[in-house]
Amino acid sequence: MQANKDLEKKYKPLIIALSVVIPVVVAVLFTVELKGFDFSFLPHIYAPINGLTAIVLVAAVISVKNGNIERHKMLIKTAMALSVAFLLCYVLYHMTSEATLYGDVDGSGSLDGSEKTNFQTSRMIYLLVLVSHIILSVSVIPLVLFAYLRGILNKIEEHKKIVKYAFPIWLYVAISGVVVYLMIFPFYS
């Protein structure tokens, strides 16, 4: 029992650091432009990764509710790996491609008067989903990492307390990522 407390104490600063460093590094990388590379296909890959993450998360919950802890562990590790793969693809895409504007029918990179008018309501919905997706994707990092740590340390009650919040947020982030992609897909050039 003391060994678990020592491990949790050891990893807590690392989890906190990762929870701060990951969003900061992503934000910094968004300012980097890599010219000469074409990764414009990546949204068509990372959106399905989000969808697969959602499916894996639901399967992980079903597994644990059915008492299959080993499958649950494997599925959670898979969901974490998928989330990392998504993030890498997402950052690489944004470092190498121009941002796509929702409603930019003509692909000019800006919205003219008719585009603003025609997509005003749906653009507001899109931005609401996108902003909530981004904010929650940042906030879920420490929840997932602490839930994972407490799970592998077999601190089941503490694990459950965190998962009560981590699971629905992580699932929302995965599903909303797909929704964002489906909404902006018509505007990719």
Beta-carbon contacts of 40 under 8 Å, excluding residues fewer than 6 positions away, are 93, 96, 97, 188
DSSP result, 57-117 = HHHHHHHHHTT-HHHHHHHHHHHHHHHHHHHHHHHHHHHHSPPPPTT-TT-SSS--HHHHH
Which residues in the chain come in under a pLDDT of 70? 1-4
What was the pLDDT predicted at 1?
60
What was the pLDDT predicted at 98?
86
Read off the pLDDT of residues 153-182 as tens digits, 9 standing for 90 and up: 999 999 999 999 999 999 999 999 999 999
CB distance 103 to 187 below 8 Å: yes
Query: Exposed, middle or buried: residue 31 (CB in 10 Å: 0-12, 13-18, 19+)?
Result: exposed
Map out the domains of the chain with their CATH numbers.
Answer: 2-187 (1.20.120)
Q: pTM for the whole thing? A: 0.91
CA angle 142, 32, 127 (to 5 degrees): 60
What was the pLDDT predicted at 51?
97
What was the pLDDT predicted at 3?
64
